[in-house]
Amino acid sequence: MSETSNRQHSHAEVATANASRYLQQLCKHFGHKVEASFDEKAGIVRFSIGDCRLQAEGEVLRLALDAPDAEALLQLQDVVASHLLRFAFREPLTVEWRAGAAA
């Protein structure tokens, strides 16, 4: 059995007309402390507790998280969602995490 088989995953789709803007803002912000790469349509942030992949498609920001265990996944969800909501203070966003890898 491989080491990655126990990894925890979750994903969210956030409806916003500013998907690309928030993707870039999150990646730039997190990139000051951890490894991050991005363009206007996709990005990845590599935290010590796991990875966050971001994808902007029209008016949807897709977030996909990968962490080594459930505790790290919950922490990653909180960090990503709280920063997104802070950046998007001008609009009421909802981040609903769903278990499992994104389809």
pLDDT digits (tens, 9 = 90+) for 6-62: 899 999 999 999 999 999 999 999 999 999 999 999 999 999 999 999 999 999 999
Q: Is 60 exceeded by the pLDDT of residue 67?
A: yes
Q: 20 near 58, Cβ under 8 Å?
A: no
- The pLDDT of residue 6: 86
Determine the Cα angle at 48 with ends 82 and 58, to 5°: 50
Question: Beta partners for 42?
Answer: 55
**Which single residue is written with the structure tokens 């956030």?**
14
Q: Is 80 exceeded by the pLDDT of residue 103?
A: no
The CATH classification of domain 3-89, taken from the options 3.90.550.10, 3.30.310.50, 3.40.50.300, 3.40.630.30: 3.30.310.50
Backbone phi and psi for residue 19, each to the nearest 5 degrees, phi listed first: -55, -50
Strand boundaries in 1-103, DSSP class E: 8-15, 35-38, 42-47, 50-57, 60-67, 98-99
Mean pLDDT, rounded, for 50-75? 97
- The pLDDT of residue 102: 78
pLDDT band for position 1 (cuts 50, 70, 90): very low
3-class secondary-structure state, position 1 = coil
The residues spanned by each domain of the chain are 3-89
**Which single residue is written with the structure tokens 């922490």?**
75
